[in-house]
Amino acid sequence: DAKTTQPTSMDCAEGRAANLPCNHSTISGNEYVYWYRQIHSQGPQYIIHGLKNNETNEMASLIITEDRKSSTLILPHATLRDTAVYYCIVRLRFYNNAGNMLTFGGGTRLMVKP
């Protein structure tokens, strides 16, 4: 799987949009971009994923650049409960004999402040 690069930490004011960037310059056409978050030792929580089009769900929006080399996760109105480590992961689109696990990097520690 392609590697990703994320800032180590970010701050965001409560009620404002949180924009979390991710670089994945070596991504291939057969790889999705997935976002997960982990709130203080809980299990990682799936947020959203996309291939090349922008995606939105009840939790967040995912903006993928046209060349697919980077993406941004947007939490439109951050709350204190959004404080967590956010992981951007590139994952093979199709299952193969090597499995289809997620490979986690260091993520971005987002601190939402009052």
Instruction: Catalog residues that contact other proteins under the rule CB under 8 A.
Output: 34, 38, 41-46, 49, 93-95, 97-107
Which lies closer to other proteins via its Cβ, residue 54 or residue 103? 103
Whether residue 56 contacts residue 62, with contact meaning beta carbons closer than 8 Å, is answered with: yes
Residue 53 DSSP symbol:
S
Whether residue 23 contacts residue 70, with contact meaning beta carbons closer than 8 Å, is answered with: yes
Minimum CB separation of residue 97 from other proteins in Å reads 8
Which lies closer to other proteins via its Cβ, residue 21 or residue 44? 44
- Say which amino acid occupies 49: H
Which lies closer to other proteins via its Cβ, residue 17 or residue 101? 101
Reported as type and span, the H/E element at residue 18 is: strand 18-23
Minimum CB separation of residue 99 from other proteins in Å reads 3
Residue 82 phi, psi dihedral angles, 5° rounding = -85, -5
Residue 5 DSSP symbol:
B
Which lies closer to other proteins via its Cβ, residue 41 or residue 67? 41
Minimum CB separation of residue 16 from other proteins in Å reads 27
